[in-house]
Amino acid sequence: MTGPDFSFEQDAMTRGAQVVAGVDEVGRGPLAGPVTAAAVILNPEDIPEGLNDSKKLSASRREALWETIHDKAEVSIAHASVEEIDTLNILRASHLAMERAVAGLTRVPDEVLIDGNMIPRGLTLPAQAIIKGDARSLSISAASIVAKICRDRVMWDLAQHYPGYGWETNAGYPSKSHREALQNLGLTPHHRRSFKPVHNILYQGKNVTS
């Protein structure tokens, strides 16, 4: 299977779009931490080489591309908090992060390419949803890389304040060690209480770490 290309962006440009942004989010599945989204506007004349779905790249390759993307493209990053995830639900919160990322761009896109099968309802710009877009669109691939690295760094920082949960390596996902730490150490303010494994521990009356 071939990697992502610029065809979706070029199609938008043939319809008159001059500025096309790719948007992706990371962090729907973790038990802790925010959900993070990135919006990226690539320069058609200077696209970084090696872009792909962030999950298909090594950590070192993602880091190198993070630098290149920031050098060559316009980037906006945004989050939805744990409180927003628990209040709204994870899908709506991830869409909120996407909306915020697009709003943070210095240029208003003429079209937005969204990874997934839904367009966030608060996004008023022309947009199309692209299933598995991070493996098909270079702009979305770039956004997936930026979002993942940013969120991983957020979780690494949180891990320094809340050791024992392994966030520096599991990024808040429900690894065995993370689930065991939940049972042994209790909850932190950064755990998503609406997620079943966390809710069950809260219901059992486990301690909450401040």
Is position 24 annotated in a ligand binding site? yes
DSSP 47: P
Structure tokens at 67: 């630098």
Is position 25 annotated in a ligand binding site? yes
Burial 22-61 (b: 16+ CB within 10 A, else e): bbbbbbeebbbbbbbbbbbbbeeeebbeebbbbeebeeee
d(CA 33, CA 46): 34
Is residue 30 within 8 Å of residue 60, measured between CB atoms?
no
Query: Which residues, 6+ apart, have CB-to-CB distance to 129 below 8 Å?
Result: 114, 115, 116, 117, 118, 119
Is residue 93 within 8 Å of residue 107, measured between CB atoms?
no
Is position 152 annotated in a ligand binding site? no
Run of H or E including 44:
none
Extract the annotated binding site for a divalent metal cation.
24-25, 115
Binding residues: 24-25, 115
